[in-house]
Amino acid sequence: MTAPSTAEATRARIADTAEALFRSMGYQKTAVADIARALGMSPANVYRFFPSKSAINEAICTRLLSGISARIEAEAEGAGTAEQRLNALTHELLKACLEVFFTEKRMHDMVAAAMEEHWSSITQFLDRLVAALRRCVADGMASGEFAPGDPEQMALVLKVSLLAFYHPQLIEDCLNMPEPSPDLAQSLDLTLALLVAGLKRGLR
């Protein structure tokens, strides 16, 4: 007999167990019945806390992506010029994505599935990414490092133009390329250099 736990603690326990199963069996192959069995619960009990397997996935994705968001935000709030912080932020993003998506292929599959279904965890992640980018851009515009402009608009442009460095499918495509695989970090350096040159000149 375990001590009665709060709903929040039970939700966390279900998510932990589901995450372990997703990592070992893969996201598609894990059923709610497997999660319940590993917890010594009935599936009905799991469903009391999560209405569907998809809701469990979303909770796990949210945790995972929140961790990446926190790392990005730390870089956005760090020391240095706006350009240096954009560099640090985007390289941290690429590094986190490579770690999560590729050292743990199963997690990659889970996030890729989340992206297809536009779960709210993805939307939150993108919102936090845009906010971190906007912070650097706005600071650069305020200090005169960048030309005057609309920080939100420019942050959205950066989000779109840097997709190759954080979208799981694009990273996977890139790493699977038959030719000598492009160096993602080097390609990010050049891409960001051009975008920063654009921010310095401004749209006029």
193 binds its own copies (CB under 8 A): yes
Within residues 59-88, the interface with its own copies by CB under 8 A covers none
Of the two residues 96 and 154, which places its CB atom closer to its own copies in the complex?
154
Measure the CA–CA gap between 42 and 27, rounded to whole angstroms.
20
> 82: Cβ–Cβ under 8 A, 6 or more apart, which residues?
136, 137, 139, 140, 143, 145, 146
- Token pair belonging to 38: 């590993």
CB of 188 to its own copies, least distance (A): 9
- Token pair belonging to 49: 């806390």
Within residues 105-134, the interface with its own copies by CB under 8 A covers 115-116, 118, 123
Measure the CA–CA gap between 106 and 187, rounded to whole angstroms.
26
CB of 72 to its own copies, least distance (A): 19
46 binds its own copies (CB under 8 A): no
Note whether 93 and 72 are within 8 A (CB): yes
The single residue listed with the structure tokens 């009905």 is 44
Of the two residues 18 and 162, which places its CB atom closer to its own copies in the complex?
162
Of the two residues 132 and 155, which places its CB atom closer to its own copies in the complex?
155
Of the two residues 15 and 86, which places its CB atom closer to its own copies in the complex?
86
Of the two residues 39 and 157, which places its CB atom closer to its own copies in the complex?
157
Site string for its own copies, 163-182 (x = CB under 8 A): xx--x-xx--x--xxxx---
C-alpha angle with apex 113: 110 to 114, nearest 5 degrees? Answer: 85
> 71: Cβ–Cβ under 8 A, 6 or more apart, which residues?
92, 93, 96
Residues in contact with its own copies by CB under 8 A are 115-116, 118, 123, 153-154, 156-157, 160-164, 167, 169-170, 173, 176-179, 187, 190-191, 193-204
